[in-house]
Structures are given as structure tokens and as C-alpha cells.
Structure 1
Amino acid sequence: MIKKVLTWLGIAFLIFFIAFNPDSAADVFQSLGSTIGDIAEGFGAFFTNLVA
């Protein structure tokens, strides 16, 4: 029950954040995407060096 309520509150906050601060929301998502890309690149380099 609590998990469902927290999930809906998180979704509502996300919609609110995007609707009222679109520039800030775009910056946050761009930063998250960049971080995930950097992590993936690091894993790729690690496995490349591990095999080579």
C-alpha cells in the first residue's frame, strides 16, 4: 500500500516538476543521461582492457 502511494507521489512530483520548471527539468535529465553514458563508457573501457 505504502509503495503504491509513494510511486504515485513520485510520478505526480515528476509531472509537476516538468510542467512548472521545464528548463530545470531538462537540465536534470540531461545531466542524468550524461552520467549514465559516462558509466557505460567506463564499463566498456574496463571490459575492453580486461579482454585485450
Structure 2
Amino acid sequence: MPAKAKTLLIWIVVIFLIYAIVSSPDRAANIVTAIWDFITNAFSSFGQFFANLTD
């Protein structure tokens, strides 16, 4: 991907995220919380899987 196209795409994403947060902060917070819960559950599941391998 050309450097200018990549930079433009990054700016578009950043502007969209700022718009989404400003227009609906409660919904944006819920989405971030859901993503964080998904990530922590995934790491917890990986840890549990490897712990069960040693049993």
C-alpha cells in the first residue's frame, strides 16, 4: 500500500473514531469495555489451557 494511501486511511479511521466518541460516548465506552472483556477472557482461556496441559 502506498505511503500516502496508508496515511489517508489512518486519518480517516482516527476522524471516524473521534466522531463516534463525541456523538455517543456511552456507546463508545460500552464497545471499549466489551473489547477489553473479550481480550482478557481470551488470555485467561489461553492460561487455563496451558495450565490444564500440565495436569
TM-score where L is the length of structure 2? 0.86
Q: TM-score, normalised by structure 1?
A: 0.90
Aligned residues: 52
The CA distance in 2 between the partners of 1:12 and 1:49, in whole Å, is 44
1:5 to 1, 8, 13: 8
Following the alignment from structure 1 to structure 2, what is the Cα–Cα distance between the partners of residues 42 and 50? 12
Deviation digits for residues 13-52 of structure 1 (CA, Å, limit 9, x no counterpart): 1111111100110110010001001101110001111223
Structure 1 residues without counterparts, runs of 5 or longer = none
Identity %: 35
Kindly name which structure, 1 or 2, has the bigger radius of gyration based on alpha carbons: 2
Cα RMSD of the aligned pairs, angstroms, is 0.8
1:50 corresponds to: 53
**DSSP-derived class of the 1:30 partner:** helix
Task: Structure 2 unaligned segments of length 5 or more: list them.
Answer: none
* Structure ranking higher on relative contact order (CA contacts 8 Å, 6+ apart): 1
